Amino acid sequence: MSVRVFVAANAREGLARVRSELGDAAVVLATRPHPQGVEILASAYAELASPGRNEALEPAGSRILNELARLRGMLQNQLAGFAWSAGRRRDPARVAILQTLFAAGFGGSLARTLAARLPRGLEGEAAQRWLRQVLIRNVPVVGMGTEPVATGGSFALVGSTGSGKTTTLAKLAARAVELHGAGKVALVAADAYRIGAEAQLRVYAELLGVGLHAARDTEALARLLPKLATHRLILVDTAGFAPADARALATQQLDTLGVRRLLVVAAGQQGAAIEQAFVRFGQGAAGCILGKLDEAPQPGAALDSLIRHRLPLAYVTSGQRVPEDLHRPNAVYLVDRALRGGQLATPFALSPEDWPLVAGVEAERSLSSESGPSATSRHAG
Ligand SMILES: Nc1nc2c(ncn2[C@@H]2O[C@H](COP(=O)(O)OP(=O)(O)OP(=O)(O)O)[C@@H](O)[C@H]2O)c(=O)[nH]1
Ligand SMILES: [Mg+2]
């Protein structure tokens, strides 16, 4: 990679020169003050893929260490390749199960667990059918008649910012009005953080003809709830937070008021973000609502968290329309959607040359815990 040095009077001028000489996709590697203004180290984007180093500047000891690291890396890659071909030869069906799940966005932990449980003798299409059935059986779905709107009670919608809590609440309220009548449904605006949050809810309350109440904090909510006791369904709209925010955990205090939490998760998010939401908002929740399915090309990661956390799925949403885009969950549909997502050709899909790397990591895992419950060691057995 060739690094160019640009000196300019100021950053704006320097960046303009970087772009004009290296192109729009130039990458700035470092900036530092310079007697004439600013010094910018930059490289053309296309050159990033070929890292090199200036050996003349490196001490001999560090060169030897670098060389050893390079040889170690080469050896690991070779072993990964062997492990991959050996695994494929020994247990092609289990490897194919891992591939299907990884491609669909499921995580390694669940993928290994499922692959290890593939009954002996099942191969090819039969193994894939088995996988589909296992996934369908393990998506925890709230049974007909026990869904929150039907059973009634107090529910708070919790989850990350923008996951669709308020819109989903309006959809649930519309469904409840149909079932119990407008007089039996109450909405509570408990989002005291976002400007306009209560106004957003008021629009829906007026459209549906249901009562809207405000509760700024837990104490106010505790005082309000007994006054709403005659209602069949009380829906509390809470503020969204980043899952890592301490206030996310605080939503669990709603349980002490007898308000059950429904976690609203946008199905198209990264697996790690979905998992964080499950951990921080979803512990002990009454159920989950999988939102924005229409925006999720690969809902596998969301199904993964749902299956591992065993949080009953009460509803799914698949669009912005109130109330049309709220549905009861259908495990068959969700699993088929997730598996189809694995067939999408995207730059994020693993290609054949990526698989040996996965196998290499797996092989190392099984070596380091030979007697442990490693899926790879079981595949090989
Ligand atoms: N495509 C799509 N958009 C949705 C869905 N549900 C909600 N939205 C949109 O997502 C955006 C955010 O929705 P809100 O309901 O305000 O989300 P929220 O979780 O209440 O947001 P905060 O209160 O700010 O945390 C809005 O533009 C909604 O119309 C859905 O199922 N699909
Ligand atoms: Mg909201």
- Give pLDDT tens digits for 231-273: 999 999 999 999 999 999 889 999 999 999 999 999 999 999 9
Which atom of ligand 1 lies closest to the CA of 319? 32
- Convert the pLDDT of each residue in 319-329 to its tens digit: 999 999 999 99
pLDDT of residue 55: 53
- Ligand 1-lining residues (CB < 6 angstroms): 161-167, 191, 194, 197, 240, 291-292, 294-295, 317-320, 325
Q: State whether the Cα torsion 58-59-63-65 is positive or negative.
A: negative
- CA–CA gap between residue 176 and residue 157 (Å, rounded): 15
> Ligand 2 centre and the CA of 341: distance in Å?
29
Atom of ligand 1 nearest to the CA of 194: 24
Give residue 171 CA to ligand 2 midpoint distance, Å: 13
Compute the distance from residue 165 Cα to the ligand 1 centre, in Å.
6
Strands 233-238 and 27-34, sheet pairing: unpaired
Number of other residues whose CB lies within 10 A of the CB of residue 77: 13
pTM (2 decimals)?
A: 0.77
Q: How far is the CA of 275 from the centre of ligand 2 (A)?
A: 20
**Residue 336: exposure state from Cβ atoms within 10 A (0-12, 13-18, ≥19):** middle
Choose among 194, 188, 263, 196: nearest CA to 226.
188
pLDDT band at 91 (very low <50, low <70, confident <90, very high): confident
- Quick: pLDDT tens for 147-204: 999 999 999 999 999 999 999 999 999 999 999 999 999 999 997 777 888 889 999 9
What kind and span of H or E run contains 266?
strand 260-266
What is the per-residue pLDDT for 233? 97
Q: Which residue has the CA at smallest separation from atom 14 of ligand 1?
A: 164
R_g of the chain, CA atoms, integer Å:
27
| Contacts of residue 97, Cβ cutoff 8 Å, sequence gap at least 6 | 111, 114, 115, 118, 127, 128, 131
Ligand that lies nearest to the alpha carbon of residue 245, given by its number in the listed order: 1
